[in-house]
Amino acid sequence: MEASSHDEFREFVAMRSTALLRLAVLLTGGDRHAAEDLLQIALMKAYGRWARIEQHEAYVRQVMYRQQVNRWRLRRHRAETTVPVLPESETGADAGSESELRIALWAALGRLSKRQRAVVVLRYFEDLPEAEVAALLGCPVGTVRSTAHRSLAKLRALVPELGPGEPSERVQPLNYTPKEVQR
């Protein structure tokens, strides 16, 4: 590799390694050591072709994506996966209380009107934008906003455990069919 390419590579690593490491941490599910390895492999592969690469960061990111997909494929054949923290100790709450909250939320959804239930499900569980919900329900965006506001207030009154946050932030999506939304 020429000296100018070598210097360009060093400058790229100095400027972009933090952002690339952040991406690697996300790709590896939070495993910092695996992320560092992933980034190192991608940078090694890029170094050998540096002079021929037009978009350096795009190339490194693509190598990282592909390398991680290969790791996921290989991991399927492993019997065990080690994790730094046991899943039970992360949440602090037991699975029973989460199930009770889901059941309470399901019952509270049943006490909403059809339109309120449809707005809540489409907006917060399906994560659709207000304009798309309005188009699906055939009403103005302002109606979706006001209906969502009133619906969330009613859900919080019916299920105080939800607290002040959005329902989708506190509980995983419920399984439902379109017929249940129309009730």
| More reliable by pLDDT, 75 or 65 | 65
Predicted confidence (pLDDT) per residue in 15-24, tens digit: 999 999 988 8
Q: Using alpha carbons, list the distances in angstroms from residue 163 to 81, 85, 105, 106, 139.
A: 35, 27, 12, 16, 29
Q: Which of 93-102, 155-164, 171-180 has the lowest mean pLDDT?
A: 171-180
Give the tokens for residue 150.
């009133």
pTM of the model: 0.41
User: Which pLDDT band, with edges at 50, 70 and 90, does 100 fall under?
Assistant: confident
Whose tokens are 């994790």? That residue is 83
Q: What is the reported pLDDT for 1?
A: 64
Q: What is the reported pLDDT for 26?
A: 85
The dihedral through the CA atoms of 115, 118, 124, 130 has a sign that is: negative
Percentage with pLDDT > 70 across the chain: 77
| More reliable by pLDDT, 9 or 73 | 9
User: Which pLDDT band, with edges at 50, 70 and 90, does 172 fall under?
Assistant: very low
Has residue 118 got a pLDDT over 50?
A: yes
Rounded distance between C-alpha atoms, residue 136 and residue 87, angstroms: 38
Q: What is the reported pLDDT for 142?
A: 94
User: Which pLDDT band, with edges at 50, 70 and 90, does 174 fall under?
Assistant: very low
The C-alpha angle with vertex 115 and arms to 175 and 168, in degrees rounded to 5, equals 40
User: Which pLDDT band, with edges at 50, 70 and 90, does 41 fall under?
Assistant: very high
